[in-house]
Structures are given as C-alpha cells and as structure tokens.
Structure 1
Amino acid sequence: MCGIFGYIGHQSSLPILVEGLRRLEYRGYDSTGVGLHDGETINVHKTVGKVNNLKQVLPKEANATMGIAHTRWATHGGVTQENTHPHASYDGKVLLVHNGIIENYRPLRAKLISKGIELQSETDSEVLAHMIGLELENGASPQDSVRNMLKRVRGTWGICVMFLDHDLLLCARNGSPLIIGQGDGEMFVSSDPHPLTSHTQRVVYLEDGDMATVTRTSIKVASKQGRSIQTNVQTLEDSWAESELGDAPHYMFKEIYEQPDALRHCITGRVDREMGTGRLGGMRLAHSTLVQAPHVRLLGCGTAAFAAEIGQMLIEKMARIPAVTHIASEYRNNDPIINTKAIYLAVSQSGETADTISAIKEIKLKGGQVFGVVNVVGSTIARLCGQGVYIHSGPEQSVASTKAFTNMVGALTVFSMQLGRSRNMSKEQGRELIQQLQQAPHLMEAYFEDVGPIDEAVDLLANAKSVLYLGRGLSAPVAKEGALKLMELAYIPCLAYPAGEMKHGPMALLEEGSPVVVVAPSDHLKEKTLLAIHECKARGAKIILIHEKGDAIAEEGDVSIAIPKIHPWLTPLLTVLPLQLMAYRTAVRLGKDVDRPRNLAKSVTVE
C-alpha cells in the first residue's frame, strides 16, 4: 500500500527520492511527498495525486544529500495535502514518514492537544512526529526519542525519521516491511525491494521490533529495548529489478502475455517425469509428514485466495485428503483450532499481505507448521515461514495480478502431485499430469495467437449495470478471479457464483441483455453448467462463454471464446486468460487507469 523511500549519502537526494517513489507507484497510492535535508534546513514538498504531480512543485535543483519520501494510501483522513506525508513535529525538528496504522492514536492525539500542540492533519502518523519532538525537547537522543515513542503506541508501523540537528535516519518496523540498501558511502531505505535494485544488491531486512540507525556509512540495528542486533546483509536477486514496459501499452498487457514464460519458470526442475511426482525441495517436507497429514489448510486474500481454492480442489482430487481454503483476514480472528500434524499453506503474491502474516503468526503460536507460497524472495512471509515455494513469476507492476495467479496455481498443482503421489495417486496418473502441465505454457501461447472475439465480449460488458460470472468445480474460483479483475479495472459491479447457486438468488439480477460470463471447459461438470446457461438465456441474458476448442457447447454462447484443450484438472491455467483480457480491454475502452485502479494497492500491508 503506502510506500517509503529514503536516502542518505553523497549524491543529490532529490532525483533519487523521486525515482524511488516512481518505482513504488505500482503499490497504489493517492498522494505523495518528499522531505529534503541540506545540512541546515529541512524543506518539505507534497501534493495530492501522482508522482508526476509532485514533480510540478519540486525545485529544479536541491543541495540536500539526505531525504525521505512517501506515497500515501489514505486510511486516517481524506486525500488532502495536509494529510500527505512527510509529517513534521511542532517545532520542525523532526520529519517522519509512516506505513501502517496506529490503533491508539486518538488518546495520544488528545494528549498532544492538551499540551497545546496544534495538529495540522487528520492522520494517525502526525502524532508520532510530535511525540518524538517532545522526547527530543526533554533531552532524549534520537534513538531514545523514537524508542520511547514506540513504547506508547499500539498498531503497525514502518517508519523512517529524519532530524534537523542530526546526520542520520532512524527506521523502525512492526508489521510493515522496511529494507535498508547498503551502497558505498550511501544508504537507501525502502518499503519494497524493487526500488533498491538500481542502486545496490546488498540489503538488510528489518524484522518486527527492530530499530535501525542509518548513517552514510553504517547500519546499526537494535531491539525495542536497545539491545544490539547483528546485521545480516543479504543479496537481492537480479530478477527483482524493475520490469521495463518496453513497447507494451500497459504493464498489465505485458504481464498477461508473459504468463507462458512465467509458468515455465515456475515448473522447471520441480517435476519428476520418471516417477510422476512433484519435487518441491524448498518445502522440506518429510515423507512421513506427507503421509500422516490429516488435512491441508490454505490461506490467502483476493487473487491468492482464489488460487488457493483451486489448490484445495486439486489436493483433494490427487491426494484424497480433506483440504480447506480460508480467507486469511477471517481465519485469525475466528480463534482457529490448529492441528499440529496438518499442513498449512500461506499463499501471497507480495509476501507482505498483513492479514496473511497475522494468520501465520496465530498458527505458529499454536504449534502449527506453515509453508509459504509466495513470489517475492526475502519477503516477510517467506522469512516468517522459513520454508515453502517461490512461484517465480517475476515482478508484477500492475496492481491487478495476472501472471502471479497462474503461477500460484502452477505451484499448487506441483504440490498436489507431490502430496498425491506420496499417498494414493498412481505413477501413470502423475506422468500424464506432468506431460500436460509441461504443455500448458505452449497452449497458453497458442491461445494468445488467436484470442477469439474478446472485443465482442467487451461490447456486452462495457455498459453493463452488473455482470454475473458462473463456473462449476475448478471453474468456480476461476469465475471469481475473472469477476474480481473486471471489478478492479473497470469498476463494474460483478458477482461470481458456482453455477448451481445461480438460481438461489443471483438470478434476480437478470434482465433482458444482462451479460453472464460462463466458464465451461470439457470436464465432468459441463452438462450441469449447460443447465445454468439455459436458465440464464431463458431470462434474456447474453452469454459470454469460455469453452474448449471444438466443443459443441460453443453454439450456446452469444459470444464464444475458445481455449486449447487440456487435462480437466489444469483448465484454470487457460480459462483465466480470456477473462483477464476481457477485463483489460473493457477498462481500456472505458478510459480507466489499467495499471493503477482507484482505491487499490498491490501489496495490502495493513489489516
């Protein structure tokens, strides 16, 4: 969500900060600002809107070699210049940027007002700057002033603090990621690894409870109590450099068409064709764990949850043991019963999803073993779990996920094979699945060579009051993912239902001309899906049908879009592609900001 970037070194900080903010744009935000320290004064520049808007109010040159910057996603207070970060203390000696939410900010705010401090914004973050300022005024060091402030607040934070009278940056983390990049005579602070890759590959990940003093030449990490912690410098992978747009009109367009190569990267080296099984060494699963697990539980939010639902069904089909998918934000708060022999999978593109992180902590607290299914190496979930599988889709710049979804499904398919072969799935079944899975990237490419009448589908979708998405079995979560994409990008209300549930309520929305998107591959549920199609058509609905090439069901659609034929258990890898393109082209037709939809963030780092 919100983004932080900081710099202290020997170069002019302004262009570095602006470029850092630009590389954080994909996270989603509504206002942005920078604070510059030239050794004598601190100057703040901020504005509502995008980084390009900020550029209009920045000086052409600045002598500052230290600064902090922020992209804000509104939580406390509206989208106004006053609420935009950075926030200054009452005396101007402290400047702060903050990601997260301070839960007890109201009584803290009231106490500041009682002391005669006039707050300039509605935010919870400004409170922190004033509290640090008061500590400094009472003689505390910068480190103690931040530490004393943190002892009095509840919530989540990733903060970077700059001081008028001190040549350093102070950073602290609790539940919101912060990474420090180590250069030569310069240091960088970021809430995300992407902006750091153009400056350095050497990074230090802060853990919850850490506080770091960052100078031009050193990083010193300490606990909240002041105990020194040894810094562990890690190396960023080259693949996490910013993805270049090239000739593509949008990042989402580019990432949709990158899916064949992304899926190849995901499955390469992870299947054993001879034995017909998956091979996920990073999960470090003992054979006894696979055989004795009573059930599998999968956790995720949004797109990750829909991928998890597909994984759940594949686990049950291949391994014949119960599997359940949970929305991570609900799971933790429902006081779950943890079976220490069960397998728990935490699915997240960013690896920073706050709700999923909280669920993992709850499971681990109660003795459960959690495995991460994530995209970002070194992310909080990856480090918290310590074991799992990277989906290797590469960086996604568009807020709406595409290639991460198919790679999550690909990774969960491989896991399901490994679990299934350890229990009851035959070698022959495993070999057939592997052969088809390895063909999936080629079939994706074949579909992209002829995507079908997507624009005819857009004609029906673009002016719709609402859109109903239907599917059965593995196609039900695919329908949910398709509905989410159209809703995210085009701001059209969408409902996704298992096709059998359509007559239990959603049918009331149907009227003459209502578009209904039906995902109907050639599986054992196709005939039942056909019944739902007939019920919709009888009420005047227009059917947008996703089907397999050569299937006679094509004649049932007002707009019929064919995908290549594939094993019924692998159809989600292909049926989702036209749904992504439909959402993308509808948003383009309506003039929406495809890569950065309103009110949304790529990485949801607050609960």
Structure 2
Amino acid sequence: MCGITARIGDDDSLDDLLVSLKNLEYRGYDSAGIAVQNGAGIEVSKCEGEVAELKSQLATNDHDGPIGIGHTRWSTHGPPTDENAHPHTGCKGRVVAVHNGIIENYNALREGLQARGHEFTSDTDTEVIPHLVEERLEAGMDPEVAFRDAVGELDGSYAIAMMVDGDPAVYATRNGSPLVVGVGEEANYLASDVPAFLEFTDRVVYLEDDDVVVITPEDHHITDLTGNAVSRPVETVDWDPEDAEKGGYDHYMLKEIHEQPVSLRQTIRGRIEGEDVVLEDFPPGTFNDVSRVQFIACGTSYHAGMYGEWLLSKWGVDANTFIASEYAAYPAPVDEETLVIGVTQSGETADTLEALKSARERGARTLAVTNVIGSTAARTCDDALFIRAGPEIGVAATKTFSSQVASLVLLGERLVRDVTGGPTEECQQRLESLKSLPEHVERVIENSNAAAISHQWLGGGGHFFIGRGNAYPVALEGALKFKEITYEHAEGFAAGELKHGPLALVTADTPVFAIGTGQHPKRLESNVREIQTRGAPVIAIAPRTETDLTDTADEFLPVPATHPDLVAILANVQLQLIAYHAADEMERSIDKPRNLAKSVTVE
C-alpha cells in the first residue's frame, strides 16, 4: 500500500514524477504529493484525492527542479486530508520525506520530539522521520549519516525516501516494504514498484531489507545500516512498458481480463513436454523429501492456493491451505518434510511474508509462487516459481489468478511425481488441456454474454456463488471480485453447504451463480433445484455438455469443454466479466475500488 517514487537527474523532474505517481495509483489513491528541489529550496505540493487533483494543483504552481520525490497514499494513520498527505517536512522545511508502511513506535518518538520543541502538523506516523533527521543535521551530522542514524530508531515495516535541501541526492531504505531503483540513461529513479518508471528504464536494482541507498543524477550506492558497502545486481525487466498502460480499454481490469490468453501462454511456455512437466529450477527428485504441503496466501491468492490444495489432495499428497494472517498468528505444525508454499502476486504481501518466515524458522522448506522476480518472497524463500503473468495494475486481480492456478497445476504434477513415484492419473489429457487453455479463454472472452446477464440479474438481495470441488474456490473468487468492485453483497459457498444455513438468505432477489465442472453433476443439480424452490434465479456457468445443470438453470454462461480439473478456470473468466460489467453499469471505480489497494504491504 502507498506508492513511493523519486526522480534524480540534471533536468526537470516534475513530469516524470507525475507519470510515475499515476502509474503507482493502484497502490493508493487517498491523497498524493510531490516535493522538488532546484537550488532555491524545497517546494512541496500535496492534496487529498487522486493524482489528477495534484496535477491540477500543480498547473498553477511553478514546481520545477531536477530532484524530486512523490507519494500516493493509502491511509493507515490519520484520515485522507491535505495535512496528512505526503511528503512531510521537519520544522524548518529542510528535510522532506515520504513513507510506506507503519512506524510502530511513532507515538513514543513523537512525544520525545515534541518534548524537545518539535511541532507536528499531521496525524501520520511518517512525520517523525523528517524531524528525527532534522535534529541530527542540526547536531552536525551529514545527511547520509543522519538518515541512517534516524532510521535506526524506527520499529516496524517501512520504505522511506528523503531529500535534504541543498543536497543533490535522494536517500532511501526499506524494511518489509518494497523499493526498487531504476537505472536510466539521463536520470535515475526510485519507486515502490517497477511499473512506476518502466517507460523510462527497464534496468532495475531490487533493494533488500536494511539496505540504504543514496541516489544521485550520475549513480547510486548501497550500504547497510552500519555503513558497510553492499552489492546488488542491476537486472533487466522483461515487461513491455505498454503492459502497464490501458491500451484503449476503459479500465485496466478489462484489459487484464482480455490479456489472460497471453499471460497463460507465458506461464505455460516451455514447461510441458509430452507427458512431462519441465520446470527449470525443479528437476526430477527436487521434492523427494516432501511428505506434506501447506499453502499460505491472502485474498485471491488464497483461492488459488485452495485450488492447488484440491489438486494435490486428489492426487494423493497431504495438502492444506491457510490464510496467511491466521497462519502467522497461529502457525500449523511443520517439520523438515513440510513444503510451505506462499502464493503471492507481488511477493511483498506482509502477512504472507510473516507466515513464510514463521515456517522457515521452524524448519520447513519454503517456496514462493509469485509474479515478481526481485520480490522479497522470491529472494527469501528457499525456492521460487514465477507465474510470468506480466504487470497487473487493476486492484482486483484477474490474469494473475489464472496464471497462479496454471502454475500450481504444473507444480503439482512435478510434486506428485517426486512424492508418490509416478505421474497423476489422466496426466497427458490434463496437460494437453492445459496447453489449450489460452485458446479456450479467448473463446470465453469473445463469446461471453456476461454483460447482458449482469444487467438482467443485478440482485437487490445480494449475489451467491456456489460450486463443488475445484469450483468451490472459484465460487469464493467470483464473490470476492463482485464485492470488490461493485460494493454489493456477495458470498461464495460450497454448494452442499447451502442447506446448512445460507438458504435462509435466498429470495427471488438473490441471483445464484452455479459453477459446473462435470464432477458430481447430480449433486449440483439437486442444489440448484433447492435454490429455485425458494424462488431465486440460477445462472449456470459450465460446458454445454453438462446438461444436468444447463437444462435446469434459468440462465447459462457456457465455457468450452475441457478436462474437468481446468473447467473452473474458464468459469472464473465468466465471473470476472460478470463482476466487471455489473460494476461498470453501476458506475463504480473499477480499477481503484474504495478502501482497497493492490499490494498489501502492512499487516
């Protein structure tokens, strides 16, 4: 949450800073601000609202300068107001800072600073940072030493960028929140995430916890908190800058739904050879010592983990899924034969990182399934499998879910061979169907009637989503997408659980979306009839071959017939489109839903 950016060059930085902030708005959009210095002082401009509001404000101000920092906020401490917007300054305006994360001991620090005469103008935890640095500058420390010394007083998770008036550099550090340096030809950059500066440079340096970086127009150098030099490689990101743009679509979410065939091809490419799964970092025998698997994740990634659990359990491997925040607080038993798989799109989700740390400290082997090569999860786990979906900007995850599930199908096949000694049943058919999945998703998108159905069945009494087996996590995911961007009540259930309570909520105003995969069709048909008896309409999402369901339902959204283990992935695309079109008709803020941010980097 929150987006930090900086640009350090010899020419004006304002335009690049605004572009970077706009690119980071998926991380927070309660308020925004920038600070630039040009040799005549530091100019700060900030306001409540989105980056567009800041840009309008700057149109009447002369805020040019070669060095600047910026911030787009997702509120934690203090409401979204002009005063609480970043950047924040010290008493004398000499030090300016932006921050992502939570300073846990800020109350004690603030009280001490106030007792020493410092005055505060916001409710944020961030404001203690420039005051702490300012004190040290007044005591004669140089900016880098002052910054490092002040950071040593902070407890919590954070990413920080700071400027000092008259000093041609940006100082930054991280602990539990992401920061990446962009190495350009005419300027250098800093941001919470690569898409911020992707159109300016594709050469990046991923910072690690307790790194302190000093960035100048010509160079950057990294030390640890004690000042010892640290070496981090410069890597080239293979994302296309156009991937982080809307490309003619009304919303990023719609664009990313339509990108799923491409992202799935990237996920699968080179990983299937005949009946064999080829994962470069996981040759045969990699998981010979694994006897049980635990998935830990949050939100959409948790539903992908549930899908992976269902597959492994079906194939004879002991598997469970845990919500990462609960696992971190109440960890499940592990030993050296336990493989703990953290499923995280960004690789920076705070609860998932904390859960992985807990598992690792107790002797488990850890593996990250993530989309970001330089992420914290990828670097700190024993192993990493990259889903290769490309950048995802919309807050509501779409293409990353399908790529996560496809990756877990491949990983599951590799695991089963090592754990049980042989391939899964129907392995060849499943892998052939997986190779056809991009084409099948294309057919769903091209032929979907989701717009008309979402218009007809916008329910006043909520929306239910039901499924059995691997359709159950997709039912949960369909409900999550719907509630995320429509703000309407939606719930997902295992179909058999309806009679154990949820039927009490079903009325004629409660559309129910039933996902059929071809597994246990008679049971699902029985559930549908129970719903219709209560007067509720049922919309079936299934292959046309599932006549037990499609002939019974009131409406039908077809998906191509494929292996039953993969049908639910196609059904999920229809549910994404249902949520999108319903939210669009209701004129919701689809890419930036209220109270939510893309990457949850605080617990």
User: Which range, TM-score by smaller chain?
Assistant: over 0.9
Structure 1 residues without counterparts, runs of 5 or longer: none
Aligned match for 2:490, one of 479, 485, 494: 494
CA RMSD of aligned residues (A): 1.7
Q: Distance in 2 between matches of 1:514 and 1:371?
A: 41
Aligned match for 1:324, one of 296, 320, 342: 320
Q: Distance in 1 between matches of 2:243 and 2:258?
A: 17
CA deviations 1:221-255 (Å, max 9, x no partner) are 11112222124222222446643322222221111
Paired AA for residue 221 in structure 2 = K
Q: Distance in 1 between matches of 2:375 and 2:176?
A: 12
1:399–1:597: 8 Å Cα contact kept in structure 2?
A: yes
Paired AA for residue 25 in structure 1 = E
1:270–1:278: 8 Å Cα contact kept in structure 2?
A: yes
**Are 1:133 and 2:134 an aligned pair?**
yes
2:413–2:424: 8 Å Cα contact kept in structure 1?
A: no
Paired AA for residue 538 in structure 1 = T
CA deviations 1:341-390 (Å, max 9, x no partner) are 22221111111111111122222222322111111221221122252211
2:243–2:390: 8 Å Cα contact kept in structure 1?
A: no
Deviation at 1:211, TM superposition (A): 0.9
1:308–1:325: 8 Å Cα contact kept in structure 2?
A: yes
2:466–2:513: 8 Å Cα contact kept in structure 1?
A: yes
Deviation at 1:207, TM superposition (A): 0.7
Q: Distance in 2 between matches of 1:335 and 1:316?
A: 21
Q: Distance in 1 between matches of 2:402 and 2:252?
A: 16
What is the total number of aligned residue pairs between the two structures? Answer: 600
* Secondary structure of the structure 1 residue equivalent to 2:457: helix
Structure 2 residues without counterparts, runs of 5 or longer: none
Aligned match for 2:475, one of 479, 495, 519: 479
**Are 1:280 and 2:279 an aligned pair?**
yes
Deviation at 1:158, TM superposition (A): 0.4
Structure 1 counterpart of 2:531 = 536
Paired AA for residue 456 in structure 1 = I
1:160–1:169: 8 Å Cα contact kept in structure 2?
A: yes
Paired AA for residue 307 in structure 1 = A
Q: Distance in 2 between matches of 1:453 and 1:183?
A: 44
Aligned match for 2:408, one of 365, 388, 412: 412
Q: Distance in 2 between matches of 1:112 and 1:386?
A: 42
CA 1:444 to 1:183, structure 2 compared with 1: closer, same or farther past 3 Å? closer
Q: Distance in 2 between matches of 1:427 and 1:170?
A: 52
Structure 1 counterpart of 2:229 = 228
1:219–1:231: 8 Å Cα contact kept in structure 2?
A: no
Deviation at 1:26, TM superposition (A): 2.3
Paired AA for residue 37 in structure 2 = H
Q: TM-score, normalised by structure 1?
A: 0.95
Q: Distance in 1 between matches of 2:532 and 2:93?
A: 66
CA deviations 1:281-301 (Å, max 9, x no partner) are 22x3551x5333111111111
Structure 2 counterpart of 1:551 = 546
Q: Distance in 1 between matches of 2:385 and 2:67?
A: 38
Q: Distance in 2 between matches of 1:21 and 1:227?
A: 32
Which 10-residue stretch deviates more, 103-112 or 120-129?
103-112
1:147–1:224: 8 Å Cα contact kept in structure 2?
A: yes
Q: Distance in 2 between matches of 1:426 and 1:301?
A: 30
Paired AA for residue 18 in structure 2 = V
Which 10-residue stretch deviates more, 534-543 or 92-101?
534-543
Q: Distance in 2 between matches of 1:95 and 1:506?
A: 53
Which 10-residue stretch deviates more, 574-583 or 291-300?
291-300
CA 1:453 to 1:369, structure 2 compared with 1: closer, same or farther past 3 Å? closer
How is 1:160-559 mapped onto 2 (pairs within 5 angstroms)?
160-184=161-185, 186-239=187-240, 242-273=243-274, 276-282=275-281, 284=282, 287=285, 289-318=286-315, 320-385=316-381, 387-422=383-418, 423=420, 425-426=422-423, 429-452=426-449, 454-461=451-458, 463-523=459-519, 525-552=520-547, 553-559=549-555
Paired AA for residue 546 in structure 1 = I
CA 1:541 to 1:362, structure 2 compared with 1: closer, same or farther past 3 Å? same
Q: TM-score, normalised by structure 2?
A: 0.96
Q: Distance in 1 between matches of 2:85 and 2:424?
A: 59
Q: Distance in 2 between matches of 1:413 and 1:120?
A: 52
Q: Distance in 1 between matches of 2:122 and 2:61?
A: 28
Structure 2 counterpart of 1:115 = 116
CA deviations 1:41-88 (Å, max 9, x no partner) are 111111111111111111465441111100000000001000000000
Paired AA for residue 15 in structure 1 = D
1:301–1:356: 8 Å Cα contact kept in structure 2?
A: yes
* Secondary structure of the structure 2 residue equivalent to 1:383: helix
Which 10-residue stretch deviates more, 378-387 or 291-300?
378-387
Q: Distance in 2 between matches of 1:269 and 1:424?
A: 23
Paired AA for residue 129 in structure 1 = P
2:41–2:166: 8 Å Cα contact kept in structure 1?
A: no
Deviation at 1:15, TM superposition (A): 0.6
Q: Distance in 1 between matches of 2:515 and 2:14?
A: 50
Q: Distance in 2 between matches of 1:305 and 1:141?
A: 46
1:547–1:554: 8 Å Cα contact kept in structure 2?
A: yes
Paired AA for residue 311 in structure 2 = L
Structure 1 counterpart of 2:145 = 144
1:517–1:543: 8 Å Cα contact kept in structure 2?
A: yes
1:277–1:421: 8 Å Cα contact kept in structure 2?
A: no
Paired AA for residue 528 in structure 1 = R
Structure 2 counterpart of 1:78 = 79
Deviation at 1:272, TM superposition (A): 2.1
CA 1:241 to 1:604, structure 2 compared with 1: closer, same or farther past 3 Å? farther
1:194–1:241: 8 Å Cα contact kept in structure 2?
A: no
Deviation at 1:154, TM superposition (A): 0.8
Deviation at 1:494, TM superposition (A): 1.4
2:506–2:531: 8 Å Cα contact kept in structure 1?
A: yes
